[in-house]
Every structure is written in C-alpha cells, then in structure tokens.
Structure 1
C-alpha cells in the first residue's frame, strides 16, 4: 500500500524530532477540546491538535471527549440525545459553547494547524471526511480504537492517513492489519511507570517492516518524555506542548531567551506558573520585578500597587507577605489561575535552582543588601543579574558586591564610554529600535554580554534581531521568537 502524501510529508518533517500533537488542545492549560485550548496550542507551536468527535441527534459532528457533558458543563446531558442547537444552550465551564467540527476545522485553517481526529462515534467517519474535503482541509489524520470503523474508511479510499489506537493488552501489528491503518497509535500512558520501555527496538523494526508510522500516547512526565523524544516515531501527544516544542538554539547562533515577567502571554505575569512555563519551553533566563511587603519580605510583582494584577487594592507595602501570597493574582488573566498568589522572591530562587537557569532581577522598592543576601543564601549569585531604574541601587551593588552581576541599558548613557566608565556590567541591553547596534562586538570585547530588548509581535521583526546574533534577547513572546528562530535556521 503506497504511503499517503500527507504522511510522507510529515515523516520528512520528523527528522529533527517527533511532531507535537496537543492532546485535546493545550489541555494542560485550558479547558480541553475548546477554542481557547486549540488557539493556545497553536500559539505554543503544536503541529496538530488532537480532537474527539461525536455526532448529535441531528447528525452534526461536534468536538468533545465524552458523550456525557457533566464534566465540562455540569449538566446531565448526552450529546447523541440532543440536537445541535439545543446543545448550544448549555455553556461549557469556560463560557464557550460546544464546538462543531466544522468550526474547529475553520480555526485550524486560520492557525495553520493540523487535526488529529479521534472518532468517538465509530459511525462518524464518512461525515468527518466529507467535512474535511468540503473545507479543502488537507492536514488531517483520522484515528480510532474501533478497527472496523477505520477499515471501513480504508475501503472507501479515504485520502487522509488512518491511525488505529492500540490499548496495552492489544497487539499493534494485528490490530493495524485489521484496520488497514497507516499509523499505530500506542495508548500506553498508564501501562506502568516507564511505558517508554515497551516501545522496543523489535517493535519499531516490525512496524517499519509493515510500512507503518507510530504515534505515542499523551505524555506529561518530563523524564519519560525525554526518552520518547529520542525514538524514531511520527508524533507524540501531550497536554503540555511547551514540554515538546522547547527552544533549542543552534551552537552557531546560541541566543539565550529571557522571558520578560515569565511567559506572560500564556500565564499571569510575574507568577510561578508564568516562570515555569518559560523554563519548560527552554528559556535560559526569567525576568522579574521586586517589591517589599509590609513585613519586609521580597515579593515578585511589577506594579507598586495591586489593583491591576490582584484582587487587592493599594500599595504592596500595606500588605504582609502572607496576605499577598493568599490573594488572587491570577484570575484577572484567566479563571484557571484564580488560586495563584503573589510569589516570594525565594520561590523564584528555588525554581531557578531546580531548573539550573538564571534570573534577571529588576529592583523596584527594595533593600539592596537584603536582595543580595537572599541570593547568596541560595548560592545563586552567579545565576542572577540585576537592574533598576534607580541607578543608586546598581551603584550600591557594584561597590558593595563586586562579584555580583549588573545590567545597564545603553539608552541611559550618551555613549558607550560613559556607560563603561562606572565599571563594565555583566550585561548591556540594547533596544533594537533606537540604539547603535554596531557597538555589540566592542561590548563583548570589554567583557559584557549583549542583550537585545525585543517586545515586537511579528516574526518578520524578529528575524533581523536573530541575524545580529546577540547573546540574549529580552522578550514577551518566547514561542513567537522560537518560530522566528526556526525560520532563520531553515534559511541558513
């Protein structure tokens, strides 16, 4: 059986690593099988969205994992007993309506994303194919546990690659033959603690001999995923696309990413979820802002007042660290983060120790000696660099703690010589829009790293910055920069 064109194309794409299938969208961050989960998966550079399809009582294909909607609506409703219009009157827990397959296809077209469609209703295959072809949508794979349903599509000369889903107690090759499938999808995430060991060299050789591709279960355990990413498989599913699509700079242009206030396009700024998201997607540095609480604790928050990003009002200095930690510092961004509070600086230091990365610390209203003391207590002085609009803070650090690393902005000085006269900083930040970028080599010769501040939202703006080969970029959207970096690499 000849390899279908899409599958051949996808196999050529996986030479670097397996493709990322966002399981029910970016369901680790948003409500599964919803527009916001799918759009976030696209923003996080997932190659495909895994979606589940049922049919309503009047034959409309809709996207939901379960036929029963109690889990996502709180209502005792079955999809296959309701007409589509009636189902639209029951809002999902995130406020959206139950999406139709046609609407999800339209979103995928606009996002240039693929669809990995699991047939929950085995009899929906022909209608799914019709909807895909009507929309002229080519980047789709159709999957299911029911081998006979997949075989029926094969008998109908389905133009889309077909995947048969295989439980732990089933033989992949036998089931693939019954289904006449192009792909075996191993659903072994719950087989044991280390399911990667079940994907043996013998199994991979056998499926290759049968000209089958392999898709693996949804995996969110970083250590387990690290093993799976080394396997010669077509794709891996995950609830957390950031764990797969990590930023991996090439040694020829090893630009380090600094996430400004963390990955704040995905999670609320200056919170631990935003910081950890940035670290998990491959950022080497997390930027944060420090203020001091009423009881003298160092707190991570940008503004000096609390109204914009919390449910409290007034200055940070009017509240204790406990009050700040227990407030709602996340639901302004998304309801899923309502339990997130204002973190302590020490929380970030522990996080950096765990990931062995760096912090870019902006000092707002703090005691410099307290900041440095806390960093030294965690043995992280070499893993942090410091900046402030208050130049006296930086002068204090340089004079009292010469081993500490400071950052200076080029735009704050009339010329580079004046900047360097106060002592060479560890990092000099350039704004690519206003500063003289021809000085970068001289900065490095003087012993400073060059960081470019890049807060634009277009790949075409990022490409010239990448061409400059800075040491670091300070940016708002690490996933957009990652896409731009891949484009730059492909042109080399």
Structure 2
C-alpha cells in the first residue's frame, strides 16, 4: 500500500456493498441479508486479517470498528510486548512499515509508542490513529458483543507475548473462551498450561506433521496452508472434530479461491478483502 492510494471510509464501502447487492436483485438490507445467506448455504466464517487495510490502517481501532460493522466472525490481531511489559497490537517487530517511527518495538515503552501515528501511507483522516493496546481492542470488542446479537471473536496471533498477561486481559473482558490462538507449537503449549480450555490453532504446512501436532496440542483447529488443503484433509480433520481455518491472502485472496474454500467445506477463511468474499459467496 502506498500513500498515493486513496483509502475510503467504512460508511462508503458499506454503501457500495449495498448497491452491489441491489444490482443482483437482492435486498439492500445488505449485511444482515448476506450473513443470513452465508450461514445458511456455506456455513463458513470470515476472519478479517489485521482488520481491513482496504478501509483503514491495519491493526488500528479504526479498522477494527469498520470490520465490526461488516459483522465478521473473527478479527485477527497480532500481539506483542513493549519494553515496559504492556501488550500492544502490531504485526511487525519494527515500527518502520506501519508507523512514523523507526526501530524495534521492544525497545519502546507504551508511552513512547503512543506518540506515534499508526497510519503510515494513509490519508490525513487516519493520521491520529495510534498503536492500540490489547486492552483497548478487548474493550471495543466486548462493548460490541454486548450490544449486538451476532458476536465477533478474536483470532490472536501470539507474535511476542507471555501467556499469563494475555490470558488475564482476555479473561477480564470475557473474550478468552471464544478466542482462537495461533502461534508456534511451543507458545501454544505454554498457553495451554495457563488456560487449559484455550482454543489452540497451530499452523499446518506439511501433512506429515499432522499426527504429532494433534497428539501434542489437542487443537481446536488448524490454520492449514492453502496449497496443502484438499477435500480429503478437510474430511479427515472434521472427522476428528478439528476445525479448518486457512489464510486466503496475497495471491490467493481471489473470488475463485473463496468459491473453492466453500466447496471444500472449510470452517473459516481469513482475508484482506471481506467485502469481496461477501459478494462472491452471495451471488454464486
């Protein structure tokens, strides 16, 4: 993403979705209609990757507010730890790509990080967006779930975080039990000790590691590499009551792949293009 690209506000994007749905002869009651149809016909959830960088800067409160309006099933967040032990949301280990700061995040205190803009490359309207804390994100999500029928849960990518403070914050906001946790096998094992009922989701890139990971981690789900997915593997995992998530990102984030995911019967797809997923799966 580059600064020359114009980023649109959430209300405009949602308005476009309503117009597109009307074009196909469907009710412009848009998102509610979509969610009902997707649940009835595909039974597949959608995870918004770092929120949605199409709408607002990744991993900011602005983008999380936007995708909550889109009624996604999961919001994926990347959790890291500051120099003074605070949990914040940032994908990279350095500040260079997404903020107006530089250097290692771990060398900065929360107070220092809060002085930065987290909208590198975005329009002026987003320049006051800061790197959010995990607690700020949890507060936003808990308030949303309290006031809306359809719940949105957290997909927690444990980038650099100790289990105990992570569990404590999510528990405090009532979000622990429905969250899914992605990370290294070692991190997930440590998390399991801190929260035995946590929904672990290890990555799966090579099928020959499947049995070992199941025996070691007893996972709720696998985040399966898209090229490794096939109907047989999905059936095998479902037979063992293990859910299947997959990242449809970069070159795989396409309507043809959304349709294939639905045909395979996977449980959740992760995307940078939530509206494109909605449009594809409600019109085919």
* TM interval, short-chain normalised: 0.7 to 0.9
> Equivalent residues in 2 for 1:316-465 (5 A)?
316-356=105-145, 357-388=152-183, 390-411=184-205, 414-455=208-249, 456-465=252-261
Q: How many angstroms apart in 2 are the aligned matches of 1:423 and 1:257? A: 24
State the 1:284 CA deviation. Answer: 0.9
Given the alignment of the two structures, is residue 485 of structure 1 paired with residue 277 of structure 2, yes or no? no
Residue of structure 2 aligned with 1:47, choices 19, 42, 45: 19
Distance 1:246 1:380, change over 3 A: same
Mapped contact 1:407–1:428 kept (Cα < 8 A)? yes
Q: Which has the higher contact order (CA 8 A, sep 6+)?
A: 2
Unpaired runs of at least 5, structure 2: 1-6, 146-151
Asked whether 1:264 is paired with 2:53, we answer: yes
Shift of 1:479: 0.6
How far is the alpha carbon of 1:418 from its aligned partner?
1.9
Residue 53 of structure 2 aligns to a residue whose secondary structure is coil
Query: d(CA) in 2 for partners of 1:28 and 1:244?
Result: 20
SS state at 1:282 partner: coil
Computed over aligned residues only, the root mean square deviation of the Cα atoms, in angstroms, reads 2.7
Q: Secondary structure at the match of 2:113?
A: helix
Q: Is the 8 A contact 1:293 1:299 kept in 2?
A: yes
Q: Which residue of 2 aligns with 1:11?
A: none
Gaps of 5+ in 1: 1-25, 31-36, 49-111, 115-233, 237-241
Residues 206 and 228, structure 2, Cα contact 8 Å, conserved in 1: no
Distance across 2 between alignment mates of 1:372 and 1:382: 10
1:444-478 deviation digits (Å, cap 9, x = unpaired): 23222111221224312321111122111111111
- Summarize deviations over 1:32-83 as a string: whole Å, max 9, x none: xxxxx6xx568x52417xxxxxxxxxxxxxxxxxxxxxxxxxxxxxxxxxxx
Helix, strand or coil for the counterpart of 1:429?
strand
Moved beyond 3 Å, runs of 4+: 26-30, 242-248
Q: Which residue of 2 aligns with 1:71?
A: none
Please give the alpha-carbon distance, in whole angstroms, between the structure 2 residues aligned to 1:325 and 1:277: 21
The equivalent residue for 1:193 is none
More helix by share: 2
Distance in 1 separating the partners of 2:194 and 2:46: 29
Q: CA deviation at 1:486?
A: 1.0
Contact 1:299 1:345 in 2 (8 A): yes
In the superposition, the TM-score normalised over structure 2's length comes to: 0.84
Task: Please give the alpha-carbon distance, in whole angstroms, between the structure 2 residues aligned to 1:277 and 1:324.
Answer: 23
- The one-character-per-residue Cα deviations of 1:234-255 (angstroms, maximum 9, x if unpaired) are 868xxxxx86786442324221
State the distance in 2 between where 1:27 and 1:289 align: 24
| Residues 200 and 219 in structure 2, CA contact (< 8 A), matched pair in contact too | yes
Query: C-alpha separation between the residues in 2 aligned to 1:252 and 1:246?
Result: 11
TM-score, structure 1 length as denominator? 0.50
3-state secondary structure, aligned to 1:47:
helix
Change (3 A) 1:370 1:272: same
Q: Residues 359-414 of structure 1: CA distance to partner in whole angstroms, max 9, x if unpaired?
A: 011111111211112212222211211111x3211111123421111101221552
Q: Structure 1 317/392 Cα, relative in aligned 2: closer, same or farther at 3 Å?
A: same
* Counterpart mapping for 1:77-476 below 5 A: 247-248=35-36, 249-356=38-145, 357-388=152-183, 390-411=184-205, 414-455=208-249, 456-476=252-272
**Cα gap change, 1:290/1:27 in structure 2, threshold over 3 Å: closer, same or farther?**
closer
Structure ID, larger Rg: 1
Tell me if structure 2 keeps the 8 A contact 1:246–1:282. no
Count of matched residue pairs: 266
How many angstroms apart in 2 are the aligned matches of 1:484 and 1:235? 16
